Amino acid sequence: MSVAFIDFETTGLDPDRHVIWELAVIVDGVEHCWQQKLNVGQLVAADPVSQKMTRFESRYHATTALTVANSLGGGDRFSELTQGRHLVGAIPSFDEERIRRQWVERFGWPTAGFPWHYHIVDVEALAIGALAAQGWRVDPPWESEDLSRALEVPMISDADRHTALGDARWAKAIHQAVMAMAVRPLTDPG
């Protein structure tokens, strides 16, 4: 399966008010991470709780080479990296909704035929299914740390938690652990 491990950091949880400021995509073992340049209105609308959780003030670099000059440029790069791939992440529906709203609706990407595959994979839901098949009982709400422990995947460090690249790396590790548990591929006739 051709996949892209993704994660975004946003200025808050409301898709109508808050925007993506950091993106990470891991494809074919290569890590890509960049930040979006925010305007004053986007900064003013940012949620203080989200800013604190993602350590926005110490991590946002509005003038470095890491920053893409505008959101459309970042969207083009995301499109290139995810072309035909399944988006894989922890709650990737959150990220995918934002990318659609911000780049598809605001910048005129076609609303049909997104560059990525329409099946997106949530590694936490995938892990719950795999653990249930192994006899584990995991009642919601579950914690990421519990899933990591059960799958024997190290939890990301506090310094990497709530960073786009750190969370994409964790999603990749969970995905790999679950796939290693698989007995045979879905297309196996046996």
Q: Which pLDDT band holds residue 61 (cuts at 50, 70, 90)? A: confident
User: For 97, what's the count of Cα atoms within 13 Å in the CB-facing half-sphere?
Assistant: 10
Check whether residue 92 and residue 146 sit in a common domain.
Answer: no
Structural tokens at position 64: 């470095």
| 11: CATH | 3.30.420.10
Contact 119, 148 (CB under 8 A): no
Q: Does some domain include residue 176? A: yes
- Number of Cβ within 10 Å of residue 174's Cβ equals 25
Q: Please give the model's pTM, rounded to 2 decimal places.
A: 0.87
The residue out of 72, 107, 142 marking a domain boundary is 107
pLDDT-based confidence at 70, cuts 50/70/90? very low
How would you classify residue 162: left for phi > 0, otherwise alpha for psi between -120 and 50, otherwise beta? left
Last residue of a domain, one of 83, 107, 131: 107
Contacts by 117-121 with C-beta closer than 8 Å and gap 24+? 117/2, 117/84, 117/85, 117/86, 117/87, 119/86, 120/86, 120/87, 120/88, 120/89, 120/92, 120/93, 120/96, 121/3, 121/86, 121/87, 121/88, 121/89, 121/92, 121/175
Across the chain, mean pLDDT equals 85
| Total structural domains within the chain | 2
Is 92 found in the same domain as 10?
yes
Same domain, 26 and 93: yes
- pLDDT the model gives residue 141: 87
Residue-wise pLDDT for 133-175, tens only, equals: 888 888 888 889 999 999 999 988 988 999 999 999 999 999 9
Q: Which domain holds residue 17?
A: 3-107
Residue 112 lies in a domain: no
Dihedral sign from CA coordinates of 146, 152, 158, 160: negative
- Distance (Å, rounded) from C-alpha 90 to C-alpha 121? 8
